[in-house]
Amino acid sequence: MSEGHKSKKPLRWPTIWLVTGLVLGLATAFTALANLGPAAGVLGALTAAVAIVLTYVIAYRQAIESSELSDTVVKIDAAVSDLAEANERLYQLTLSAAEKDSAQAYEGDEELASDAPALSVDSESLDEADDKEPPYASEALARLRSAGSMLTHANASWKQKIPDPPLRGNHGWFVESNDPAITERWYVRKGRYWNIRKAMPREFLDALESQQRVDPRTIKHDFQLKKHGLASWYARTYDGSLWRVWRPNRNANLGVQTEPVPDDLQAS
Protein backbone atom coordinates (compact mmCIF):
# COMPACT_ATOMS: atom_id res chain seq x y z
CA MET A 1 0.00 0.00 0.00
CA SER A 2 1.37 3.43 -0.93
CA GLU A 3 2.19 6.18 1.58
CA GLY A 4 -0.63 8.29 0.15
CA HIS A 5 -3.22 5.62 1.03
CA LYS A 6 -1.76 5.12 4.52
CA SER A 7 -1.96 8.82 5.33
CA LYS A 8 -5.60 9.06 4.26
CA LYS A 9 -6.85 5.92 6.11
CA PRO A 10 -7.20 7.54 9.62
CA LEU A 11 -9.65 10.03 8.15
CA ARG A 12 -12.33 7.26 8.30
CA TRP A 13 -12.30 7.07 12.11
CA PRO A 14 -14.07 10.38 12.82
CA THR A 15 -16.82 9.32 10.42
CA ILE A 16 -17.22 5.92 12.11
CA TRP A 17 -17.46 7.45 15.58
CA LEU A 18 -19.87 10.11 14.32
CA VAL A 19 -22.19 7.52 12.81
CA THR A 20 -22.00 5.45 16.00
CA GLY A 21 -22.87 8.49 18.07
CA LEU A 22 -25.83 9.33 15.84
CA VAL A 23 -27.18 5.77 16.07
CA LEU A 24 -26.84 5.73 19.85
CA GLY A 25 -28.42 9.16 20.06
CA LEU A 26 -31.43 8.03 18.03
CA ALA A 27 -31.68 4.88 20.12
CA THR A 28 -31.58 6.95 23.30
CA ALA A 29 -34.34 9.19 22.02
CA PHE A 30 -36.46 6.16 21.03
CA THR A 31 -36.07 4.46 24.41
CA ALA A 32 -36.87 7.69 26.18
CA LEU A 33 -40.06 8.09 24.18
CA ALA A 34 -40.94 4.45 24.89
CA ASN A 35 -40.50 5.05 28.63
CA LEU A 36 -37.67 2.50 28.86
CA GLY A 37 -35.89 4.31 31.67
CA PRO A 38 -32.88 2.03 32.39
CA ALA A 39 -32.18 1.39 28.72
CA ALA A 40 -32.39 5.09 27.95
CA GLY A 41 -29.91 5.85 30.72
CA VAL A 42 -27.44 3.27 29.46
CA LEU A 43 -27.74 4.44 25.86
CA GLY A 44 -27.38 8.05 26.99
CA ALA A 45 -24.17 7.21 28.80
CA LEU A 46 -22.86 5.38 25.75
CA THR A 47 -23.77 8.33 23.54
CA ALA A 48 -21.87 10.68 25.84
CA ALA A 49 -18.88 8.36 25.82
CA VAL A 50 -18.92 8.20 22.03
CA ALA A 51 -19.11 12.02 21.89
CA ILE A 52 -16.05 12.26 24.13
CA VAL A 53 -14.15 9.73 22.00
CA LEU A 54 -15.20 11.57 18.83
CA THR A 55 -13.91 14.84 20.30
CA TYR A 56 -10.53 13.29 21.04
CA VAL A 57 -10.36 11.65 17.59
CA ILE A 58 -11.11 14.95 15.88
CA ALA A 59 -8.57 16.77 18.04
CA TYR A 60 -5.99 14.08 17.26
CA ARG A 61 -6.63 14.37 13.52
CA GLN A 62 -6.45 18.15 13.68
CA ALA A 63 -3.11 17.93 15.48
CA ILE A 64 -1.76 15.59 12.80
CA GLU A 65 -3.08 17.75 9.97
CA SER A 66 -1.75 20.88 11.67
CA SER A 67 1.68 19.27 11.95
CA GLU A 68 1.54 18.18 8.32
CA LEU A 69 0.46 21.68 7.31
CA SER A 70 3.29 23.21 9.32
CA ASP A 71 5.77 20.87 7.63
CA THR A 72 4.35 21.84 4.24
CA VAL A 73 4.61 25.55 5.05
CA VAL A 74 8.22 25.08 6.16
CA LYS A 75 9.03 23.24 2.93
CA ILE A 76 7.34 25.93 0.83
CA ASP A 77 9.21 28.67 2.69
CA ALA A 78 12.48 26.82 2.13
CA ALA A 79 11.70 26.39 -1.58
CA VAL A 80 10.81 30.08 -1.93
CA SER A 81 14.01 31.05 -0.13
CA ASP A 82 16.07 28.76 -2.38
CA LEU A 83 14.38 30.22 -5.47
CA ALA A 84 15.04 33.77 -4.27
CA GLU A 85 18.69 32.93 -3.66
CA ALA A 86 18.96 31.31 -7.09
CA ASN A 87 17.38 34.35 -8.76
CA GLU A 88 19.70 36.67 -6.88
CA ARG A 89 22.72 34.63 -7.89
CA LEU A 90 21.55 34.56 -11.53
CA TYR A 91 21.14 38.35 -11.42
CA GLN A 92 24.66 38.71 -10.00
CA LEU A 93 26.16 36.49 -12.71
CA THR A 94 24.25 38.25 -15.51
CA LEU A 95 25.27 41.63 -14.12
CA SER A 96 28.90 40.57 -13.88
CA ALA A 97 29.00 39.19 -17.43
CA ALA A 98 27.34 42.27 -18.96
CA GLU A 99 29.63 44.62 -17.06
CA LYS A 100 32.75 42.69 -18.02
CA ASP A 101 31.83 42.99 -21.70
CA SER A 102 31.25 46.72 -21.31
CA ALA A 103 34.48 47.27 -19.37
CA GLN A 104 36.50 45.59 -22.12
CA ALA A 105 34.98 47.90 -24.73
CA TYR A 106 35.57 51.07 -22.71
CA GLU A 107 39.14 50.30 -21.62
CA GLY A 108 41.90 52.28 -23.32
CA ASP A 109 44.57 50.47 -25.33
CA GLU A 110 47.40 49.39 -23.08
CA GLU A 111 50.15 50.31 -25.52
CA LEU A 112 48.75 53.84 -25.80
CA ALA A 113 48.10 54.31 -22.11
CA SER A 114 51.76 54.57 -21.12
CA ASP A 115 52.59 57.22 -23.74
CA ALA A 116 49.41 59.27 -23.98
CA PRO A 117 49.06 62.22 -21.61
CA ALA A 118 46.33 62.24 -19.02
CA LEU A 119 43.33 64.15 -20.36
CA SER A 120 42.52 67.29 -18.43
CA VAL A 121 39.01 68.08 -17.21
CA ASP A 122 39.35 71.87 -17.06
CA SER A 123 36.69 73.94 -18.81
CA GLU A 124 38.93 74.98 -21.71
CA SER A 125 39.82 71.42 -22.67
CA LEU A 126 36.19 70.37 -22.37
CA ASP A 127 35.07 73.12 -24.72
CA GLU A 128 37.71 72.09 -27.24
CA ALA A 129 36.69 68.46 -26.96
CA ASP A 130 33.06 69.32 -27.67
CA ASP A 131 34.01 71.09 -30.90
CA LYS A 132 36.05 68.22 -32.28
CA GLU A 133 35.37 64.89 -33.88
CA PRO A 134 37.69 61.90 -34.12
CA PRO A 135 39.86 61.55 -37.23
CA TYR A 136 38.02 58.34 -38.00
CA ALA A 137 34.55 59.96 -37.84
CA SER A 138 33.58 59.10 -41.43
CA GLU A 139 34.49 55.44 -41.05
CA ALA A 140 32.79 55.31 -37.66
CA LEU A 141 29.55 56.77 -39.06
CA ALA A 142 29.62 54.24 -41.89
CA ARG A 143 29.97 51.43 -39.36
CA LEU A 144 27.19 52.92 -37.26
CA ARG A 145 24.84 53.05 -40.24
CA SER A 146 25.64 49.40 -40.92
CA ALA A 147 24.53 48.73 -37.35
CA GLY A 148 21.19 50.45 -37.97
CA SER A 149 22.06 53.95 -36.79
CA MET A 150 20.43 57.06 -38.28
CA LEU A 151 23.45 59.27 -37.58
CA THR A 152 25.09 61.20 -40.41
CA HIS A 153 27.71 63.92 -40.71
CA ALA A 154 24.89 66.45 -40.76
CA ASN A 155 23.27 65.43 -37.47
CA ALA A 156 26.11 63.79 -35.52
CA SER A 157 27.38 65.51 -32.38
CA TRP A 158 30.66 64.15 -31.01
CA LYS A 159 31.99 64.37 -27.45
CA GLN A 160 35.31 62.91 -26.40
CA LYS A 161 35.26 60.69 -23.31
CA ILE A 162 37.34 62.62 -20.78
CA PRO A 163 37.51 60.74 -17.47
CA ASP A 164 37.34 62.46 -14.12
CA PRO A 165 39.76 61.82 -12.47
CA PRO A 166 42.12 62.31 -15.45
CA LEU A 167 43.46 59.05 -16.83
CA ARG A 168 45.93 58.18 -19.55
CA GLY A 169 44.86 56.25 -22.61
CA ASN A 170 42.55 56.18 -25.59
CA HIS A 171 39.11 56.50 -24.01
CA GLY A 172 37.06 56.87 -27.19
CA TRP A 173 34.16 59.13 -28.13
CA PHE A 174 30.43 59.45 -27.63
CA VAL A 175 28.25 60.41 -30.56
CA GLU A 176 24.59 61.32 -30.60
CA SER A 177 22.21 63.26 -32.81
CA ASN A 178 21.60 66.99 -32.57
CA ASP A 179 18.09 66.21 -33.82
CA PRO A 180 15.77 65.72 -30.80
CA ALA A 181 13.73 63.20 -32.77
CA ILE A 182 16.72 60.82 -32.89
CA THR A 183 17.45 59.65 -29.35
CA GLU A 184 20.22 57.15 -30.05
CA ARG A 185 23.61 57.56 -28.41
CA TRP A 186 26.72 55.49 -29.16
CA TYR A 187 30.20 54.89 -27.84
CA VAL A 188 32.99 54.57 -30.43
CA ARG A 189 36.63 53.74 -29.91
CA LYS A 190 39.23 52.76 -32.47
CA GLY A 191 42.44 51.23 -31.25
CA ARG A 192 43.84 47.86 -32.14
CA TYR A 193 40.28 47.05 -33.14
CA TRP A 194 36.93 48.82 -33.33
CA ASN A 195 34.58 49.09 -30.40
CA ILE A 196 31.12 50.37 -31.27
CA ARG A 197 28.28 49.92 -28.83
CA LYS A 198 25.12 51.68 -27.73
CA ALA A 199 25.57 54.04 -24.80
CA MET A 200 23.14 55.22 -22.14
CA PRO A 201 20.55 57.52 -23.78
CA ARG A 202 20.90 61.22 -23.12
CA GLU A 203 17.61 61.36 -21.20
CA PHE A 204 18.80 58.62 -18.84
CA LEU A 205 22.22 60.24 -18.45
CA ASP A 206 20.65 63.60 -17.59
CA ALA A 207 18.31 61.95 -15.05
CA LEU A 208 21.25 60.25 -13.33
CA GLU A 209 23.07 63.56 -13.12
CA SER A 210 20.09 65.55 -11.83
CA GLN A 211 18.70 62.95 -9.41
CA GLN A 212 21.92 61.46 -8.04
CA ARG A 213 24.46 64.20 -8.78
CA VAL A 214 26.54 61.82 -10.88
CA ASP A 215 28.81 63.77 -13.23
CA PRO A 216 28.86 61.99 -16.63
CA ARG A 217 32.66 62.32 -16.72
CA THR A 218 32.88 60.14 -13.61
CA ILE A 219 31.14 57.23 -15.38
CA LYS A 220 33.64 54.52 -16.23
CA HIS A 221 31.29 52.44 -18.37
CA ASP A 222 27.61 51.73 -18.88
CA PHE A 223 25.71 48.63 -19.95
CA GLN A 224 22.41 46.76 -20.16
CA LEU A 225 21.56 43.21 -19.09
CA LYS A 226 19.26 42.80 -22.09
CA LYS A 227 19.75 44.36 -25.50
CA HIS A 228 16.44 46.13 -25.98
CA GLY A 229 15.15 49.65 -25.48
CA LEU A 230 13.02 48.94 -22.39
CA ALA A 231 15.81 47.30 -20.40
CA SER A 232 17.43 49.13 -17.50
CA TRP A 233 20.78 50.83 -17.92
CA TYR A 234 23.62 50.51 -15.43
CA ALA A 235 26.48 52.93 -14.90
CA ARG A 236 29.69 52.18 -13.02
CA THR A 237 31.60 55.23 -11.81
CA TYR A 238 35.34 55.44 -11.28
CA ASP A 239 34.85 55.42 -7.51
CA GLY A 240 33.24 51.96 -7.74
CA SER A 241 29.58 52.95 -7.33
CA LEU A 242 27.00 51.20 -9.50
CA TRP A 243 23.77 52.90 -10.55
CA ARG A 244 20.61 51.59 -12.18
CA VAL A 245 18.59 53.85 -14.49
CA TRP A 246 15.25 52.82 -15.96
CA ARG A 247 11.83 53.92 -17.13
CA PRO A 248 8.85 52.10 -15.53
CA ASN A 249 7.04 50.09 -18.21
CA ARG A 250 3.64 50.20 -16.52
CA ASN A 251 3.65 53.85 -15.56
CA ALA A 252 5.56 55.99 -18.03
CA ASN A 253 4.25 59.11 -16.29
CA LEU A 254 6.76 58.50 -13.49
CA GLY A 255 9.58 59.37 -15.85
CA VAL A 256 13.12 58.03 -15.68
CA GLN A 257 14.04 56.52 -12.30
CA THR A 258 17.49 56.09 -10.75
CA GLU A 259 18.83 54.17 -7.78
CA PRO A 260 22.13 52.81 -6.44
CA VAL A 261 22.66 49.06 -6.77
CA PRO A 262 23.38 47.59 -3.30
CA ASP A 263 26.72 45.86 -2.84
CA ASP A 264 25.04 42.57 -1.88
CA LEU A 265 23.37 42.40 -5.31
CA GLN A 266 26.67 42.76 -7.10
CA ALA A 267 28.77 39.71 -7.87
CA SER A 268 31.48 39.16 -5.30
The band of 44, judged by pLDDT with boundaries at 50, 70 and 90, is: low
Q: What are phi and psi for residue 222, nearest 5 degrees? A: -130, 160
Both 162 and 228 in one domain: the answer is yes
Both 149 and 233 in one domain: the answer is yes
Assess whether pLDDT exceeds 80 at residue 122.
no
Q: Which domain holds residue 58?
A: 3-104
The whole-number pLDDT of residue 178 equals 93
Both 77 and 171 in one domain: the answer is no
Q: Which of 104, 132, 153 is the last residue of a domain?
A: 104
Both 50 and 90 in one domain: the answer is yes
pLDDT digits over 13-27, tens only?
Answer: 556 655 565 555 555
Q: Which one has a higher pLDDT value, 46 or 117?
A: 46
Both 246 and 119 in one domain: the answer is yes
The whole-number pLDDT of residue 205 equals 97
The whole-number pLDDT of residue 111 equals 42
pLDDT digits over 92-108, tens only?
Answer: 888 999 999 999 888 86
pLDDT digits over 174-226, tens only?
Answer: 999 999 899 999 999 998 889 999 999 999 999 999 999 999 999 999 999 98
Both 76 and 137 in one domain: the answer is no
49's enclosing H/E stretch is helix 37-106
Q: What are phi and psi for residue 242, nearest 5 degrees? A: -120, 130
Both 90 and 12 in one domain: the answer is yes
Task: Answer whether 257's CB lies under 8 Å from 243's CB.
Answer: no
Q: How many helices (H) and strands (E) does the chain have?
A: 7, 8
Percent of the chain with pLDDT over 70: 64
Both 92 and 157 in one domain: the answer is no
Q: Which of 61, 81, 104 is the last residue of a domain?
A: 104
Burial 216-252 (b: 16+ CB within 10 A, else e): bbbbbbbbbeeeeeeebbbbbbeeebbbbbbbeeeee
Both 65 and 191 in one domain: the answer is no
The whole-number pLDDT of residue 262 equals 92
Task: Answer whether 155's CB lies under 8 Å from 179's CB.
Answer: yes
Average pLDDT score over residue span 2-8: 47
Both 120 and 78 in one domain: the answer is no
